[in-house]
Chains A and B, each alone.
Chain A
């Protein structure tokens, strides 16, 4: 939560590139959280490449605002993840997305399905990495919400804030047909939920996440070579 608020502030330009962040204890006091929470938030932001910590006398935590090529900026955080990390997050996401899809098939109302289809249209209309990532995240979070589970929804939000920026990276130079096919997987998933076919919905959701993980692993491997 704290990390998300700070990440938002950086993305919105409220915290400027190169700006020094307060010390952990002062940050904790300003945000009304414990020092441990503030420390965790800074670690998360370091993982996202939004904060850089330098040691020494002129050290401290500095804001690294999203400048330059967006995809190039994402390479650093991806390279910091081990393949095992990527796989483990993929497993976690597959479990959450699968369970959410299965429950949504049981509990979604017609108007929820209508909402999911609107979010799918937004994903279709999205251009570029940031827009697609946003529409994709919203759609998956809405599926968890359609499952009527605040806990699964919170898990989806947290997973997307940790790894979401990276998920569309392997497709940043993909052909339109490839992107259309990935988006179409969401359409099939929504159809399964609308058909109240929980098992199919769960399988489609976890397969979708596993494919995504595989693409990210491949991309990470090629990045490691260069």
Chain B
């Protein structure tokens, strides 16, 4: 390998590493929320009574801190409870977002199954995947039409207390914020390049032919792209299954 090619390779690795690190930091806050929520569950358990909505109120401080720590990057955060995890609500969301005046506001959604506006979150990827695997997960980019109303990533981690799935802790990151980080370094690469999610959806690129939301599928003209850096190439264990691809010469 020539030294020019080597430095090109290093630059590609650094690009995905820096992006994964910036977004991955949000996982630390999600883990913090998870610990705080599980701490409440552990404290309540010996009393033999079930968790109640009011038990979750003390999480609001942790959520506000997480929102402040990632101000301008994380659009919302909180915990989302599994059906019947609480004694006094079948479904419950303790989720806060920064409103237009940057003040944390509780997300209010309709959780009455008989209502026309009922929001059943148990079918969403960010809820289901941590439930299924027991591991943290990043969903997206996807159109979040409940909370941010924008193109969004949701990072989530399962709340498992005494072997029981109680729900998830999570945070939303706007896709536009991730793009803001990615585009300058992508634009400096000498070839057409794109970063995709693990399932092949374009997160960001330096070409008008590869716009966010597109899917790189084999057999398509835009798919003459080959993966050059994956999460496995990064110097630490990344939870973001993202891939950097460049155009095949």
Contact = CB atoms under 8 A, between A and B. Distances in A.
Interface of A: 4-5, 7-8, 11-12, 106-109, 111, 115, 118-119, 130, 133-134, 137, 141, 144-145, 148-150, 153-154, 157, 164-165
Nearest to B125: A111
B191 interface: no
Contacts of B201: 107, 109, 148
Nearest to B145: A153
Given A133-B116, A148-B141, A153-B149, 9 more contacts: A11-B110, A11-B117, A106-B214, A130-B114, A134-B115, A137-B116, A144-B143, A153-B143, A154-B145
13 contacts: A8-B117, A109-B200, A109-B215, A119-B123, A134-B115, A134-B118, A145-B143, A148-B143, A148-B212, A150-B143, A153-B145, A154-B149, A165-B116
B73 interface: no
B108 interface: yes
B213 interface: yes
Interface size class of B (residues with CB under 8 A): 20 to 34
A175 B112 CA distance: 28
A165 to B, nearest CB: 7
A36 B160 CA distance: 47
Of all A-B residue pairs in the complex, the 6 with the closest CB atoms, nearest first, are: A148-B213, A145-B143, A153-B143, A153-B145, A8-B110, A134-B116
Interface of B: 108, 110, 112, 114-118, 123, 125, 141-143, 145, 149-151, 199-201, 212-215
A152 B65 CA distance: 33
Given A107-B213, A150-B150, A141 B117 contact: no
Given A107-B214, A148-B213, A11 B116 contact: yes
Contacts of A157: 145
Contacts of B151: 148, 150
Contacts of B110: 8, 11-12
Contacts of A165: 116
A151 to B, nearest CB: 9
Contacts of A5: 108
Given A145-B142, A145-B145, A12 B112 contact: yes
Contact of B199 (A109, A118, A130, A141): A109
Contacts of B212: 148
B197 to A, nearest CB: 9
Contacts of B145: 141, 145, 150, 153-154, 157
Nearest to B111: A12
Nearest to B213: A148
A12 B113 CA distance: 10
Contacts of A145: 142-143, 145
